Amino acid sequence: MYLITVFGNLLIILAVSSDSHLHTPMYFFLSNLSFVDICFTSTTIPKMLSNIQTERKGITYEGCITQMYFYMLFAGLDDILLTAMAYVRYVAICHPLHYMVIMSPRLCGLLVLISWVQIVLYSLLYSLMVLQLSFCPVVQIPHFFCELRQVVRLASSDNFLNNIVIFFSAVLISAGPFAGILYSYSKIVSCICKITSAQGKYKAFSTCVSHHLSVVFLVYFTTLRVYLSSAASHIPHSSTVTSVMYTVVTPMLNPFIYSLRN
């Protein structure tokens, strides 16, 4: 599954960069999403595979903090890039005559740059927050990687304030982009309903539902199920399965969702 994810997303990047017909805003963001998905899975899966092979579950404190930082970095970028892609679809369907003017290469590059800066600072804030916590000499994380919520819960120092920060930040970083996606698609649906041609309506709806929305639902509903679940003393089995869905399965499905039908 890891090899399929890496090579599938690499093929998307190669196809977009080598074909001038694909040098459009949507495929620009798709190639960035593919790159982020490769990095996202590479923060957790290689270590997990190594643990399975060596039958050891240990990770150093520095390695855990590093894994947590890059995991939050690329997970946040995934959310923001999906929001940017929803905005691109909104402009393409609702303002088709102004599409190339609005979605200029400069704006696309600026959106990606702002996304990187925002998420780098967001992940750094969380990493510095975890560094302030104290832990017992031997800590066993009930997960297959250093997931922020589980690490903070195992701290021996008072982590009430940290839990509050994690909750509201998770809502902000997930619900904010998700609200942007919902707003974009509400405008898209409104514009599609005004199309008189039945064939035109079908084409617009099928394009949105079969590609971008499929990925959005896979990412957001699995992510929100983990991070906005009730605070329990241990992570349930179903939550671990959900984590596997958005850290392993979803990045693997992206190349199939975006490539096969096209």
Contact call for residues 164 and 199 (beta carbons, < 8 A):
no
Distances (CA, A) of 149 to 47, 146, 158, 244, 251: 19, 9, 14, 16, 22
pLDDT in tens, 45-91: 998 888 888 888 888 888 888 998 998 899 889 888 888 888 988 89
Q: CA–CA separation, 143 vs 59, rounded Å?
A: 12
Q: What is the DSSP string of 19-74?
A: -GGG-SHHHHHHHHHHHHHHHHHHTTHHHHHHHHHHT-----HHHHHHHHHHHHHH
Contact call for residues 157 and 134 (beta carbons, < 8 A):
yes
Domain boundaries, the chain: 2-259
Contact call for residues 150 and 141 (beta carbons, < 8 A):
yes
pLDDT in tens, 178-228: 888 888 888 888 888 887 777 777 777 766 655 667 777 777 766 666 655
* pLDDT range class, residue 230, cuts 50, 70, 90: very low
The mean per-residue pLDDT over the stretch 114-124 comes to 89
Has residue 42 got a pLDDT over 90? yes
Amino acid at position 251, single letter: P
The better pLDDT of the pair 4, 58 is held by 4
Domain 2-259 has CATH 1.20.1070.10: yes
